[in-house]
Amino acid sequence: MASMTICARFRPLSSKERRDHGDAVCIQHVDSETFSFKDEKDEEFTFSFDKVFYEKSEQAEVYEFLASPIVRDAVDAINGTIVTYGQTGAGKTYSMEGPSILVCDEQKRGLLPRVVEGLFDCIKSSGRTMKHSIKLSMVEIYMERVRDLFDLAKDNIQIKESKSQGILLNGVTEISVSSPAEALQSLSNGIANRAVGETQMNVSSSRSHCIYIFTVQQEVKKDERSKAGKLILVDLAGSEKVEKTGAEGKVLEEAKTINKSLSALGNVINALTCGSSGKANHIPFRDSKLTRILQDSLGGNSRTALLCCCSPSPSNALESLSTLRFGMRAKHIKMSPRLKGNEDKSAKKNGPPSPTKDESCERILGMLRERFDAEDVKLLEELFTLSGILFDPSSPEEVDSALADVTSQTITLLQQAVEDLASIVEELKRENKALKNELAAAKRLDAQSEAAGDTSIVLHKPSGIISSVVSRVRSLSSIK
Ligand SMILES: Nc1ncnc2c1ncn2[C@@H]1O[C@H](COP(=O)(O)OP(=O)(O)OP(=O)(O)O)[C@@H](O)[C@H]1O
Ligand SMILES: [Mg+2]
């Protein structure tokens, strides 16, 4: 099994860092993979990564080493993820976007525009036997809500899991793009919608985690089979010490949420690397939106690369040390990316059961269909979908925890549904009895009036019965 590609990148000293500490740096270059690091107490550590990008490194080098193999794989339907991680102001957004994704020096262009170009180049060179198409989505996780950056009205997107496609964002906007220029224009529009604020550490600080999703669909013309590779780029918001960033009010609330989700990410990495061999331990993917969305990327089913961005200044040594340790830990996660989204179009035409439905949910729904009204079962099905009870039991190490989650959610949902249905049935029985009594009374009255030859009672009675029935039906429909 392969491991994640982990790289460290040190940005040049900022003008503030130069003012405070002159040219002093806390790292010493050993070679392109190793450096020594001095912390605040002058204690020395040696770190080795797959590659170290020092202050003078070029954006193109980062792309070539970290992203280009993942881009090629995505075109071959192997999922990939690239994450920039690190303290606020450490260069995550700079590495991802560059100064601007639309207009900037070729040399300074970040990973994102290079990935776009790389995808279209790979498609062009893949030959005529295959047809490719690219779809693009863009969301941010702001204050623990997933917002669609292509459609701000969708500000609380739900995360679902399907057996065949893994983690999905329910109803997220997907834009088909047919050229790099079109893709970059869409990305630029999305970036303009992202939450950014000013702090004492970064005048343009990302206040959300930004997630770019490229879905590359591949169709082999000859046999009509199609596969899809998903490439996810994640520009995380940076961890921050509130006393350094001077955060207060809204910015403070944002900082707390950012730090909380980053510690959830740390916990997931720890759980993934601490498990005793051979025994599946619980991985808390569901503890934050970030970890849930990254579940496939961290859980093994993706080729994943992590860029640990750091300041080289001694004034940020503590934060840089923590970023580097995070990277070292992540290196121990074992990955086994596999082809995803295989779909046989001809089979689909013959109408087999949808492969995205989890079998156990289908079984339960089938049983309910036999006993309950179709409308109620449909409602339950929607509840299952909304609650993300569709899970992928194919990765053995997650089966226990996923099963525990699904079992408790299913039980709660079913109990709730059974209680609701039982109370509706009770209400219907009561109404039915009342209506029967009224009908019997009406018949008696009818018989009496006929016997007495009183036509006025006969004429008024039916309208009274009808209005009584209508009002009961109304009250019943409000219960439902
Ligand atoms: N490699 C680099 N070369 C030149 N300038 C850089 C580099 N990396 C970062 N910078 C500059 O440092 C500043 C902070 O960078 P950036 O906004 O990318 O930080 P960040 O890690 O995204 O922070 P936050 O978590 O607050 O969003 C920016 O002005 C950026 O231009
Ligand atoms: Mg940023």
Q: Is the dihedral of CA 262, 265, 267, 269 positive or negative?
A: negative
pTM equals 0.73
At 155, is the pLDDT very low, low, confident or very high (cuts 50, 70, 90)? very high
Provide mean pLDDT across the span 185-195: 95
Mutate to test the pocket of ligand 1, among 7, 11, 261 (most ligand atoms within 8 A of CB): 11
Measured from the alpha carbon of residue 237, the closest ligand is: 1
Q: What is the pLDDT of residue 95?
A: 98
Measured from the alpha carbon of residue 201, the closest ligand is: 1
> pLDDT digits over 210-234, tens only?
999 999 998 877 666 788 999 999 9
Kindly state the helix (H) or strand (E) to which residue 162 belongs, with its residue range.
strand 159-162
Residue of the CA atom closest to atom 12 of ligand 1: 91
Q: How far apart are the first and last CA of the chain?
A: 53
> pLDDT digits over 84-106, tens only?
999 999 999 999 999 999 988 99
CA of 278 to the centre of ligand 1 (A): 41
Q: What is the pLDDT of residue 78?
A: 92
Binding site membership for ATP: which residues? 86-93
CA of 204 to the centre of ligand 2 (A): 7
Measured from the alpha carbon of residue 108, the closest ligand is: 1
Question: Looking at per-residue confidence, does 463 or 115 come out higher?
Answer: 115
Provide mean pLDDT across the span 123-149: 91
Question: Average per-residue pLDDT in the chain?
Answer: 83
Averaging pLDDT over each range in 186-200, 266-280, 349-363, which range is the top one? 186-200
Kindly state the helix (H) or strand (E) to which residue 83 belongs, with its residue range.
strand 80-86
CA distances to 135, 139, 277 from 189, rounded to whole Å, are: 15, 12, 46
Structure tokens at 116: 């776009």
Q: What is the pLDDT of residue 393?
A: 45
Is the per-residue pLDDT at 333 higher than 90?
no
CB atoms within 10 A of CB 67: 22
Q: What is the pLDDT of residue 348?
A: 38
Q: Which atom of ligand 1 is nearest to the CA of 96?
A: 18
CA of 91 to the centre of ligand 2 (A): 7
Assign 3-state DSSP to the chain and report helix, strand, coil percentages, each to 5: 50, 20, 30
Q: Which atom of ligand 1 is nearest to the CA of 94?
A: 18
| Domain residue extents for the chain | 2-335
Q: Is the dihedral of CA 259, 405, 340, 78 positive or negative?
A: positive
Q: Distance between CA 242 and CA 259 in Å, rounded? A: 10
Q: What is the pLDDT of residue 200?
A: 86
Is the per-residue pLDDT at 301 higher than 90?
no
Provide mean pLDDT across the span 31-60: 95
Q: Which atom of ligand 1 is nearest to the CA of 206?
A: 27
Q: What is the pLDDT of residue 426?
A: 85
Fold observed for domain 2-335 = Kinesin (3.40.850)
Spell 269-290 as b/e; 16+ CB within 10 A means b: bebbeeeeeeeeeebebbbbbb
> pLDDT digits over 380-402, tens only?
766 666 655 554 444 444 455 55
Mutate to test the pocket of ligand 1, among 93, 319, 323 (most ligand atoms within 8 A of CB): 93
Q: Distance between CA 143 and CA 146 in Å, rounded? A: 8
At 407, is the pLDDT very low, low, confident or very high (cuts 50, 70, 90)? low
Binding site membership: which residues? 86-93
In the 8-state DSSP scheme, what is residue 106? G
In the 8-state DSSP scheme, what is residue 66? I
Mutate to test the pocket of ligand 1, among 94, 196, 239 (most ligand atoms within 8 A of CB): 94
CA of 466 to the centre of ligand 2 (A): 67
Q: Which of 310, 338, 255, 293 is nearest to 95 (CA)?
A: 310
Q: Distance between CA 189 and CA 361 in Å, rounded? A: 39
Q: Which of 119, 105, 146, 339 is nearest to 234 (CA)?
A: 146
Output the ligand 1 site: residues, CB below 6 A.
Answer: 11-12, 86, 88-94, 202, 204-206, 237-238, 309
Question: Worst-scoring range by mean pLDDT, 62-66, 253-257, 300-304?
Answer: 300-304
Q: Which of 272, 319, 274 is nearest to 294 (CA)?
A: 272
Query: In this structure, which residues have their CB less than 5 angstroms from ion ligand 2?
Result: 92-93, 206
CA of 38 to the centre of ligand 2 (A): 25
pLDDT above 90 as % of the chain: 53
Provide mean pLDDT across the span 255-263: 91
CA distances to 67, 85, 86, 277, 309 from 306, rounded to whole Å, are: 10, 7, 10, 24, 9
pLDDT above 70 as % of the chain: 76
Q: What is the pLDDT of residue 404?
A: 53
Vertex 350, ends 346 and 352: CA angle to 5°?
A: 105
Is the per-residue pLDDT at 361 higher than 50?
yes
CA of 112 to the centre of ligand 2 (A): 13
Answer whether 180's CB lies under 8 Å from 120's CB.
yes
Measured from the alpha carbon of residue 88, the closest ligand is: 1
Question: Worst-scoring range by mean pLDDT, 135-139, 325-329, 339-343, 467-471?
Answer: 339-343
At 475, is the pLDDT very low, low, confident or very high (cuts 50, 70, 90)? low
Q: What is the pLDDT of residue 352?
A: 38
